[in-house]
Structure 1
Amino acid sequence: MILNLLGRGILLVAGCLSVAACGKSTPVVPISESPEGIWRFSETGVSESTLRLASDGSFSRVVTDLEDRNCVSSSGSWRTDGESLLLEITAVSNAPASGFENYRFVIQDGRLQLGETEIYTAVGSMVSCTDYGFGAWAGELRATSDGVEMLFEIVDVILDMYGGQLQVEGISTTGVGQSRMLLQIDGSPNPLNPRDFTVQNVPGSTNTFYGFYHPDPGSLTFSGFDTTRLLPTGILTLSAVGPERVTATFSFRANLRVEGEVGPGGATFAQIESGRVEIVYR
């Protein structure tokens, strides 16, 4: 079975595809280099395909139709067998998938050729569908405060997976009035992967978490609660992360952001419990 991604002849293959199997011949060129790296094939103004072959044997790929403003991501594992590059696909557009691709490859003059026509050049960084802006983040951001569950609409997500940073912002209209929540984690200089991030507020700390909650963003006299003052506690557990998907749980105590202010009902802190983030870029 062959699926034509984006209708532009970029193939996701369940089975095995090779130039020889299509009845074409390609001169056998000895492979003296590994294809490990980040490669891009581009037709100006038409389409782009970026392929990351990581040292741990995993691959990720983003294929974009620039004319129709569509983007498809895929991921899995890779290996070489002689002149063949073998890709095993385990996910497409953040959903489980199963398939294989088999390309004859040649590396020459710093370029990677797959099959007969696709010639990739080396690039410095990987992209995701979010970089093209053809879709939007959607999903769930919820938490409980004073026994009341709040559901937030996602309004902004900034994700730098390889730089180790994430910011998620939501606005809630459940209950009385409107509230705002902002979550930030910083794992730099390491990339993001499943682990714990904690409120620390100590210079030089790593794997840090910042939480902000404002029950009345329209107030002119109250700046909200956050985790920067009076040594509050908090943790965000990142359970899954990819360039287009984030799943995490969190809880934190947020104190007055500005000393001397008073929150609604005279509150001096907010205890945020049972928080959950599950968002996908589509």
Structure 2
Amino acid sequence: MKKIVLLASVVLLTTSCVSRRLYNELNEKNKDCANRLELLSEENEQNKAAMLNLSGKNKMLENDLTKAIQERNKWNSDYNAMSKNFEDLEKNSDAAIKAEIERLNKLKFELDAKSKRVSELESRLDEQDKNLKRLKDALSKALFEFEGKGLTVQQKDGKVYVSMENKLLFSSGSWTVSPEGRNAVQQLGSVLAQNPDIAILIEGHTDNDKVVGTLGGGITNNWDLSTKRATAIVNILEANPLIDKSNLTAAGRSEFAPIASNATTDGKAKNRRIEVILTPKLDVISKMINEI
């Protein structure tokens, strides 16, 4: 019986020791698990926060990506539009350049033609000026004996002027040409007969003295007197059969184109005159000018 009790006691004691140790071990493991669970919970919270942060960043990146895609698409659209515009512009530019080249070539052709006509006109004007000088020299030579007797010959403004004072041509108040005056006009006519391309204008001029009484055929004013004197010179010139009568023109200027003062006797004498104005016919030159 003792042996049985002793055995039972030993078994009970042994069992009690084992259970406490196991309990202690399990308790320690439980604490470790609790600590680990707490750590895991904290890590989980941290991971959640990180996930939320990453989710926000991801959303921002998605928005940025969307904007980038939109901008890329806009750039592509703009680029395509610009490329098309450039192609159109290039085509139009080629056409515009071609048209401009054609226009410039046309202008150059016209300019060359005008330059040629200008050169021809300058040449003709130069030749005309030389012809006038030859005419002036020929008249000066033919009328040399009358220079100093109220006759002058000069070239100016593209014309030749032969001026004859009335003391060489007419008596006071008369339009009958004196013998010496007739000789001078005939010498003038012999030179003009050799220049058929010259227009001949004969102008009669008076001083400002009024016509008093009746003169010859009833002249009443200076208009009549200046015109009759111009006509008297024309009559002498047209008697030369070599002078083209269509080149002759007679005009009376009365007292209204003086070359000196009518306040002096010498001035009045200068104003009483016949002006023979010799002008090259300008039909060809006028046509050339109009063509420029």
TM class, shorter-length: under 0.3
Higher gyration radius (CA): 2
User: TM (normalized to structure 2)?
Assistant: 0.22
Q: Which is helix-richer, 1 or 2?
A: 2
Bigger share in strand: 1
Output the TM-score relative to the length of structure 1: 0.22
